[in-house]
Amino acid sequence: MSADNLAPEPTSAPDLGSQYLVPQIRGRVLHLRVDRAERRNAFTQDMYRGLKRAAIWADEQPWLDAVCLTGTDRWFGAGGDMGGRAEDREGLATEWDPTDHFPFRHIERCSKLWVAKVNGLCIAGGMDLILHCDVVIASDRARFRVPELLRGIPDAAMSSRLAAVVGLNRARYLYFTAEEFDAAEAAAMGLVGKVVPHDDLDAATDRALAAIGLTGPRARAAVKRDMNQRLPVADQEMFRRSIGTPEMVEGMRAFLEKREVDWPRG
């Protein structure tokens, strides 16, 4: 038997630097569970950094087939934590890859497949994550929404991927109305690859991961790279230009104060 065919050595899950990300190695898969249900799984910068670390770590493991990302309770992910909470403020200044504080491009360029197991509410940053994952399996209880413009946030990760995935007119409708939609609608527009009954979500995802494990690792990575290089590049400067503007400040303040927004019109 060649070395390439040997079973992988037992490996500990990586330290991702956030108590709200629960990593576990099962077989040839790194399972990640977002566990901040008391905040609807809103992502702090530490959590985003942790997902980026997971992508970097996974890319360096020759025996690994995939990373499986899911949530806790009724929540997959409710976007970024707009309250500015952080677990490690000093550590955020020291990145494994300091060129980007968000994990989206790292997930796309990772040679391992990322599988999103959408167990519940998936909005804003949660939507960004599934748009950058390779395989998306959703519970029939999952709900989706693109609410960024309600906060005055032009999300470049969202605008660069949503139209490519669901089509331009549908993306415009979802972005400009911020309308919530269900898993059946998400499947119909191509946002998710498969919808299953909620009680079958774990088993269906395990079946998909097992099927992925039967495919050629190098060929799989090559196809992922070929598909992703055809996608548009996110205009990160669009987001940076908006940070600190009166519109974004008012949008975020209104959200935190739980009041109606009063957009500056000057």
Average pLDDT over residues 11-17: 87
Say which range, 6-10, 168-172, 179-183, 201-205, has the weakest mean pLDDT. 6-10
Instruction: Annotate 136-168 with DSSP letters as a single string.
Output: EEEETT-EEE--GGGGT---HHHHHHHHHHH-H
Tell me, what's the pLDDT at 241? 83
Spatial neighbors of 1 by CB under 8 A, at least 6 apart, are none
pLDDT given at position 266: 72
Q: Is residue 83 part of a domain?
A: yes
What is the pLDDT, as a whole number, of residue 184?
98
What distances in angstroms separate CA 140 from CA 57, 144, 199, one per listed residue?
Answer: 31, 11, 9
Domain with 98 in it: what CATH number?
A: 3.90.226.10
Domain annotation covers residue 170: yes
Dihedral angle sign, alpha carbons of residues 208, 233, 154, 39: positive
Assess if residue 73 is contained within a domain: yes
Q: Is the pLDDT at 156 greater than 90, yes or no?
A: no
Q: For residue 1, what pLDDT band results from cuts at 50, 70 and 90?
A: very low
Query: CA-to-CA distance for 137 and 208, rounded, in angstroms?
Result: 9
Number of domains in the chain: 1
What is the pLDDT averaged over residues 214-233?
94
How does the average pLDDT of the chain come out, rounded? 90
pLDDT at 4: 53
- Cα separations (Å) of 147 from 118, 127, 195, 262? 18, 10, 23, 16
Q: Are 253 and 244 in contact (CB under 8 A)?
A: no
DSSP string, 187-207: HHTTSSSEEE-GGGHHHHHHH
Residue 172 domain-assigned (yes or no):
yes
Instruction: Quote the tokens at residue 48.
Output: 């985003």
Say if 266 falls within a structural domain: no
More confident residue, 215 or 256: 215
Q: Residue 264 falls within a domain, yes or no?
A: no
Counting residues of the chain whose pLDDT is more than 90, the rounded percentage is 71
Euclidean distance between the first and the last CA atom of the chain, given in angstroms as a whole number: 71
- 187 in a domain, yes or no? yes
Measure the CA–CA gap between 136 and 116, rounded to whole angstroms: 5
| C-alpha span between 14 and 60 (Å, rounded) | 12
Asked whether the whole model's pTM tops 0.95, one would answer no
Question: What's the domain range around 97?
Answer: 3-257
DSSP code, position 80? B
pLDDT digits (tens, 9 = 90+) for 115-145: 999 999 999 999 999 999 999 999 999 999 9
Does any domain span residue 213?
A: yes
What whole-number percentage of the chain has pLDDT above 70? 90
pLDDT, one tens digit per residue, over 59-106 is: 999 999 999 999 999 999 998 887 667 777 676 666 665 556 789 999
